[in-house]
Amino acid sequence: MGRNYNKSDRTSVGRTPNQWTIRAYAKPGDIGYLTYLHGTIYAKEYGYDQTFEAYVAKGLTEFVETFNPDTDRLWLAEIHGHIIGSIAIVRQSNRTAQLRWFLVHPTYRGQGIGKHLLSKALRFCKQKKYKTVSLWTTSDLRVAHHLYTEAGFKKIEDMAHERWGKKIIEERYDLRL
């Protein structure tokens, strides 16, 4: 990523009995692999086409190109060196951040990885003194909705349209910190 994280963020954190770890930095190949994971998982589980993968690739590219370690962060869950989950915080303004690219590989769901990633992201937002965290999701992602509402996010908007090869309902959630 354009600029480095603080050295204290360069170590794996949160080892569990299943040996998954969370790291707060990206290595070469990670961004491409995250794009691939999003594309393949969302195609299989929700029927999204290749335009969704392009959407993810564009957003991740912009994130890498404008990355600021003081305001942005990407966490990657991995097991035995393989990425199995992700979440990011992207600065929108001095007071607002956006949660993006929240994903846990289907094989590793149900182990608390998503909850752990979300907790790290929200703790970062509080440390950086963001007042609001927003996110966009779709109505298809029921488990994610549960995690968001459990964390205090409220749905504030939805819109139906054709995108990513199908009719979807996009939803915006906000969390006041």
Instruction: Specify the pLDDT at position 3.
Output: 35
User: Does residue 138 sit within a domain?
Assistant: yes
pLDDT in tens, 38-55: 999 999 999 999 999 999
User: Does residue 9 sit within a domain?
Assistant: no
The CATH code of the domain that includes 131 is 3.40.630.30
User: Does residue 62 sit within a domain?
Assistant: yes
Domains: count for the chain = 1
* Residue 70 pLDDT > 50: yes
- The closest alpha carbon to 76, from 65, 60, 92, belongs to 60
User: Does residue 3 sit within a domain?
Assistant: no
User: Does residue 86 sit within a domain?
Assistant: yes
User: Does residue 12 sit within a domain?
Assistant: no
User: Does residue 43 sit within a domain?
Assistant: yes
Angstrom distances, CA of residue 155 to CA of 14, 35, 87, 137, 169: 30, 26, 19, 10, 12
Residue 153 belongs to domain spanning:
19-176
pLDDT in tens, 16-27: 456 899 999 899
User: Does residue 13 sit within a domain?
Assistant: no
Q: 3-state DSSP helix/strand/coil percent for the chain, to nearest 5?
A: 35, 35, 30
pLDDT in tens, 55-64: 999 999 999 9
Residue pair 88/74 in contact (Cβ under 8 Å)? The answer is yes
What is the bridge-based pairing of β-strands 166-176 and 154-163? antiparallel
